[in-house]
């Protein structure tokens, strides 16, 4: 509980003596004595649920207003309602004012970029746990300890939920939380009051242009994370052109990493060797050099490992100790996750759903492939249509055989999506097309030979397909495992 006047003190003077319990933006989750934050959302307007929140026990309501002169107005006719100017932009700060204790324990790392966020956050958490400390993640696959993840539905949850969960982690004495920070979350202010100690940038390539409309706006959204006042270190991928430019702008705040032997990088990898059991590379840092051995696959996973290593190095962890523990790191579920059949072929399940992601996944699979490299992929419905022919062209160029199928078609005609992909192919007659994803996978597996690698791109860790607005159960990792075990 907190006095409402103390909670509101940073914004305006309130003379009442009411105490309030945990704030929420969901009227159904109001606790007795709680504070309801009534804000307009993308699907519903929380201001229409004030009465419901009060009937569920809300002591007070903060109500969003777009009129500056209404800021701080108090209404008591039907329960306590206080107008708050642009409350939708202050949710994170209000939640932080309530939750964040003075004795904050958890060190928070924010990871942003088009690809690699999930892998980098999970690798950071794995390394911290291997060092004997406690770590959590927040992101696409879920929030919490690595073996106890709870799905939130979004890469970055709503502003109040983010702060609430971080507070819970601090109370549980979690040492490090590695959080995926999406461009949507940054633009919409969902993490504005999060006390990030380290901000990490992985890369930038085409994605979410249906939301941002231009690559410049998309990059600017990601760049916001580097400007948080709490950030002590900005860990930047110098092999990305956007990252290289930011590195120059950020000055002493920035710590760069590179796979391409960029001499301005604090941490570099060279002499990488890719083999059937993983990869090996030499790592250089200011105080020395050591060998990284890992079972993870592909160059982009080496970049993810370097991002995680650089982050932990910036936080003061021992580089030799981190390298010693590296062979114990496990692949992230649905991220270049390899299933090997007794018949001699392999199925690699990866979440790649952008042009850059597919490019990197195929290059990674090629370095571990002795036979034919197959690529099975689709594109999501109701999303950026411009990337569809691009992904078709990438698959045709980098794979030996391709199967074009469905991803989450949502409300679109799946055949129309396949036609958009077909437009990017130089030799469409050489490709296979099948709308039903499971049928398509089984067709490719039936054609596979020993030494072949089949990349299943787009679904990764997801356990559903969204068709006509409804999600049906579909677990591609389980299917891959089943097919590898049953193929003759």
Task: For 378, list phi and psi in degrees, rounded to 5.
Answer: -150, -170
Is the separation of the CB atoms in 115 and 360 below 8 Å? yes
* pLDDT tens digits for range 125-148: 999 999 999 999 999 888 999 988
2-89 maps to which CATH number? 3.40.1390.10
Q: Is 367 annotated as a binding residue?
A: no
Q: Is 118 annotated as a binding residue?
A: yes
CB 362 within 8 A of CB 395: yes
The full set of domain ranges for the chain reads: 2-89, 100-328, 337-486
- On whether 92 is known to bind a ligand per the annotation, the reply is no
Q: Does residue 55 register a pLDDT over 60?
A: yes
115 assigned binding-site residue: yes
Residue-level pLDDT at 34: 97
Give me the residues paired with residue 465 across strands: 472
Residue 241 is labelled as binding a ligand:
no
- Give the CATH fold of the 100-328 domain: 3.40.1190
113 marked ligand binding residue: yes
Model pLDDT for residues 424-471, shown as the tens digit of each residue: 999 999 999 999 999 999 999 999 999 999 999 999 989 999 999 899
**Superfamily of segment(s) 337-486:** Mur ligase, C-terminal domain (3.90.190.20)
**Is the model's pLDDT at 115 over the cut of 60?**
yes
- Tokens representing 170 are 């601090």
Residue 190 assigned to a binding site: yes
Is 366 assigned a ligand-binding role in the annotation?
no
User: Annotation-wise, does 405 bind a ligand?
Assistant: no
User: For the segment 218-271, what is each residue's pLDDT rounded down to a tens digit?
Assistant: 888 889 999 999 999 999 999 999 999 999 999 999 999 999 988 899 999 999
188 marked among binding-site residues: yes
237 marked as part of a ligand binding site: no
Q: Is 167 labelled a binding residue?
A: no
Residue 119, marked binder? yes
The verdict on whether residue 117 carries a ligand-binding annotation is: yes
């Amino acid at each position: 509980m907190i006095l409402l006047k103390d909670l509101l003190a940073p914004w305006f003077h309130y003379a009442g003596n009411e105490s309030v319990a945990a704030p929420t933006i969901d009227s159904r989750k109001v606790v007795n004595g709680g504070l309801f934050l009534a804000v307009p959302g993308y699907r519903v307007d929380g201001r229409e649920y004030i009465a419901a929140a009060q009937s569920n026990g809300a002591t007070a309501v903060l109500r969003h207003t777009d009129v500056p002169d209404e800021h701080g107005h108090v209404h008591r006719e039907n329960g306590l309602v206080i107008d708050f100017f642009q409350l939708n932009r202050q949710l994170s700060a209000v939640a932080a004012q309530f939750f964040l204790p003075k004795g904050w324990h958890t060190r928070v790392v924010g990871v942003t970029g088009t690809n690699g966020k999930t892998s980098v956050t999970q690798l950071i958490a794995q390394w911290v746990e291997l060092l004997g400390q406690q770590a959590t993640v927040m992101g696409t696959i879920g929030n919490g300890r690595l073996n106890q993840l709870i799905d939130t539905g979004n890469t970055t949850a709503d502003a109040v939920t983010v702060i609430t969960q971080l507070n819970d982690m601090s109370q549980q004495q979690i040492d490090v939380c590695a959080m995926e920070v999406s461009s949507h979350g940054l633009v919409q202010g969902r993490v504005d009051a999060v006390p990030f100690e380290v901000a990490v940038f992985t890369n930038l390539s085409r994605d979410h242009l249906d939301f941002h409309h231009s690559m410049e706006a998309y990059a600017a959204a990601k760049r916001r994370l580097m400007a948080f006042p709490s950030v002590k270190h900005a860990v930047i991928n110098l092999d990305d052109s956007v990252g290289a430019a930011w590195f120059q702008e950020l000055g002493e705040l920035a710590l760069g990493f590179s796979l391409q032997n960029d001499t301005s990088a604090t941490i570099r990898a060279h002499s990488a060797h890719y083999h059937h059991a993983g990869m090996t590379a030499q790592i250089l840092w200011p105080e020395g050099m050591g060998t990284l051995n890992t079972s993870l696959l592909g160059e982009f996973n080496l970049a993810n490992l370097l991002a995680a290593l650089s982050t932990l190095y910036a936080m003061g962890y021992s580089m030799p100790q981190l390298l010693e523990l590296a062979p114990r790191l496990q692949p992230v579920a649905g991220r270049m996750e390899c299933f090997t059949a007794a018949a001699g072929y392999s199925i690699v399940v990866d979440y790649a759903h952008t042009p850059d992601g597919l490019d990197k996944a195929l290059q990674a699979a090629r370095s571990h492939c002795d036979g034919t490299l197959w690529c099975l992929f689709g594109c999501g419905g109701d999303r950026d249509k411009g990337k569809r022919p691009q992904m078709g062209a990438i698959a045709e160029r980098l794979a030996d055989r391709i199967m074009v199928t469905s991803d989450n078609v949502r409300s679109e005609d799946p055949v129309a999506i396949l036609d958009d992909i077909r437009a990017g192919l130089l030799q469409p007659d050489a490709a296979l097309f099948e709308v039903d994803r499971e049928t398509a996978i089984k067709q490719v597996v039936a054609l596979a030979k020993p030494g072949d690698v089949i990349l299943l791109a787009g679904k990764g860790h997801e356990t559903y397909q969204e068709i006509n607005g409804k999600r049906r159960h579909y677990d591609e990792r389980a299917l891959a495992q089943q097919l590898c075990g049953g193929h003759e």
